[in-house]
Structure 1
Amino acid sequence: VHWMTPIPANIARPLIKGLGNASVVRDDTATRLFPDIHPIGYRMAVDLALDRIRQGEVETLWSDALISSQGDLPPVYLTTEQGMIMERRQITVNAPPEAVFRVFTGLGGKRGWLSLNWAWQLRGVLDRMVGGVGFRRGRRDPDEVRVGDAVDFWRVEAVEEGRSILLRAEMKMPGRGWLRFKAKPQADGTTHLVQTAFYAPKGLFGVIYWYALYPFHAIIFGNMAREIGRRAEMGE
């Protein structure tokens, strides 16, 4: 089960086994105890989940669940929550959040992605070969971003001025991906830079795709986070 979906097998297996049992409600105790809970059918539940993804509610659905359920996380953390694979990195930057925000919202275009730019360009070439948007779009403005902007093969889905940006991947791949940067101010004047890659794989190939590229992600995203911090501290 785990190889067909990112949901842990210890959760998915009992659910699948339970499908073989007829569930007939003959007692209304649960309804009386939990009057605000209204059961819905399978199709409606799936449609609701897909609508939330399409509406860009990724941050609320997965990243907040990751943080609230895990407490204090290590600098690098890989997990799955509600069917979403998440790779989260956090570093402390000796600069205000506004400086960190300026650096990560300036990524892409002529500035590049601060880590193995040749690999990003190669990914763009491969994307064009299979009919994707490629790496040629650049960005509308070198410094300013707004919701709906194209940034190379990403699309800006959400921006909180001075704090965070959420990018949705538009390259061809067996699943859907997002990349979020968040600058969290700390009491001592430093900033916690939180960089999270979200991936919703499509089928078995989607899961294989993620884990096959994970070693490259570890290098690219790790170097990117450190370089964002360095540039923010240098005031670049």
Structure 2
Amino acid sequence: MSSATTTPINHVFSGRPDHTSALDRRDVNGEINALVLDYLTAGGYARAAASFAAEANLTPQQDDDSIRVRQGIQDAIHGGRIREAIHALNGMDPEILDANPVLHFSLLRLELVELIRECTASSDGDITPALNFAQTHLAPRAPTSPQFLEDLENTMALIVFPHDKLGPELESLLHPNLRREVADSVNMALHKRPAALKMLIRSRAWAEKDARETGKDLVVPMGVDLSLDLSGTLQAENGSEPMNTSF
């Protein structure tokens, strides 16, 4: 009497991976790799993007030179060198500022802030360069938008009031966060869209918050780790500012 043999079946809940689940994990990992590459490219991290693309066997989204130019623009804005950033931005895309007046005004206002910061660094500082810049570059644009007019008025107030006695609204104009916000806006305009990974993490954060409030369990696919920590590598590449990972 011959004994029949049967092939063991791996059930979904048995804890043993079967062929389908392995394929699913590869698909998920591939999608996550693509999201990470998208994030590195959008952030202007040329070396990290090139290295990651090679390791993950992905095609780079942009050439290294383009990413480096964007990173240089970011560095200039973070360093308060706004005129340098505008010049590089026009060299990369001559039409981008004409097509985006809000972005253009934000850059010009930030340049005015930096001029005021420089002119008022000492008690006998000459504010003429800041006044001339505001009159030439910002005053003609201010009447086109109530927000532009309000932003210009607040910025000019930095000339009048001592910087150690400013209210929260005016004090925020001198905070590095303003440089960071403008740099992010420029980078997003150059990349045409926000990084998909950043949007994914924001969506997941919202889902976690909603799950906690409603008492639901948040299910994460097995083997998928969404807690990315790229700050060390990226900070080393972007010398002026650590990457902002607080989405």
What TM-score does the superposition give when structure 1 sets the normalisation length? Answer: 0.28
Higher fraction of helix: 2
Q: Give the greater-gyration-radius structure (CA).
A: 2
Higher fraction of strand: 1
What TM-score does the superposition give when structure 2 sets the normalisation length? Answer: 0.27
